[in-house]
Amino acid sequence: MSKKNKQIAAIKGTKDILPQEARKWQRVEAAAKGIFELYGYREIRTPVFEATVLFEKGTGQTTDIVTKEMYTFIDKGGRSLTLRPEYTPSIVRSIIEHNLHLRPQPLRFYFIGPMFRFDKPQKGRYRQFHQMDIEVFGEKDPAVDAEIVEMADFLLQRLKVKDRQILVNSVGCRKCRLGYQKDLRASAEKVRERLCEDCQRKIETNPLRIFDCKVDTCREISLGFPVITDYLCPECREHFDKFCSYLDGYGIEYWIEPRLVRGLDYYTKTTFEIVSSKLGAQDAVLGGGRYDDMMKDFGGPDMSAIGFAVGMERLLSLVPYEEEREIFVYFVWLGDEAKRAGMKLARLLRREGIECLIEYRDRSLRNQMSRADKLGAPRVLIIGEEEVKKGTFQIKRMDTGEQKEYRQEEILDILKESAQK
Ligand code: HAM
């Protein structure tokens, strides 16, 4: 970009999704939607910005997202608003606001859209990124925890993501966390001086968040800290054991990772991630867990919940490239009458679901054919003065060079037939 244009360049941490790439996004989104619907999920869409307090309370005051990463601004009405950094609190708000909890439970929803986090941009980490998110409300049974992990695994398998590993854990409930936090705090206190400034602060605010730290020394030190799985109350222990046994029942391979506390404050019991070594440092393609307290903490009904979100950019980087066959018809004409006949036919064919591109500039036939070739048109429809008189069109197959004349009535069938080949 020239110096002058730099002023209007895309903002750091954001990127354009250009048409060829967008096709891949559409393919992945369509596959995901199909799978989500197979498991009973329905789409819900919420606004891109919400009251800041929604995320402060929902995502959690001690998370990196709320303390460092939110795009928060004051609007012209003096309200503090935030571009959503994640979907989960928005959907809980929407359920309460629209009394969706009165519908037969469990409720299953999915969403696809952009998220915003003021994170340090790097491979796999952006400031505007996209998530596909699913949430289930009103089902306490750990069978649903296993079902969503199975669904996530199915999705990745369907998209031919080969290198993937499922990590699972339980972060317990508020009861089991009391004793755990006390011991964790004591362990962290002993090595306070060696921890980064941020983690030193976390000892007071929420020592669990030390596990989210990306500083190498903090990561190494935290390996020696007690793990939550040793502190689970009988109910949480039973939930976790059953969850694992259901995964075993599906024949799904998984790894128990006792330090998988995930970077959000709301989790209770099950947490999980699917990681891929192909992603580099940001290795989680998706992550989620149970959050049984959020709804009632917001003043809504006492309703359990679980969900996960897939990072689209990371997922797309793992999905193998598949060449998409172009099936459009390119119209080439000679003379104004032929142009008009072409425009009319294109109008009819588009109504029948055939993609048509028509040349508008008066170019030579050779020139138009070479444009069709450059655009990768598999079929070219040629109209000259002769054809206009006879009410016919020539169709040329660009792969074989074969060219034949057809009457207007035959065109639709011929093109439909060739689109299937
Ligand atoms: P999360 O782990 O914060 O969870 O994000 C989920 C996924 O979004 C990550 O695994 C990653 O693939 C992607 N992701 C996160 N941040 C970025 C970024 N800056 N750039 C690119 N990709 C990113 C949640 O958001 C929870 N709401 C998931 C959930 C739903 N838990 C329960 N229900």
Distance 311 CA to ligand 1 centre (A): 6
The per-residue pLDDT for 214 is 84
Residue nearest to ligand 1 atom 12, measured at CA: 311
**What value does the mean pLDDT take over residues 382-402?**
93
Distance 283 CA to ligand 1 centre (A): 11
388 CB under 6 A from ligand 1?
A: no
33-84 confidence digits (pLDDT tens): 999 999 999 999 999 999 999 999 999 998 999 999 999 999 999 999 999 9
Within 8 A by CB and 6+ apart from 129, the residues are: 114, 115, 117, 311, 312, 313
* Share of residues in the chain with pLDDT > 90 (%): 86
Least confident of 3-7, 8-12, 27-31: 3-7
Stated pTM of the model: 0.93
pLDDT at residue 324 tops 80: no
Mutate to test the pocket of ligand 1, among 54, 314, 318 (most ligand atoms within 8 A of CB): 314
Label residue 421 by pLDDT band (50, 70, 90): low
- What torsion do the CA atoms of 409, 410, 411, 417 make, to the nearest 10 degrees? 140
Residue nearest to ligand 1 atom 6, measured at CA: 309
92-132 confidence digits (pLDDT tens): 999 999 999 999 999 999 999 999 999 999 999 999 999 99
The per-residue pLDDT for 416 is 83
415 CB under 6 A from ligand 1?
A: no
289 CB under 6 A from ligand 1?
A: yes
255-292 confidence digits (pLDDT tens): 999 999 898 989 999 999 999 999 988 899 999 999 99
Spatial contact of 339 and 173, defined as CB atoms under 8 Å apart? no
Report the run of H or E that residue 388 belongs to, with start and end. Answer: helix 385-390
The per-residue pLDDT for 420 is 67
Mean pLDDT of the chain: 94
The per-residue pLDDT for 281 is 84
CB atoms within 10 A of CB 342: 23
239 CB under 6 A from ligand 1?
A: no
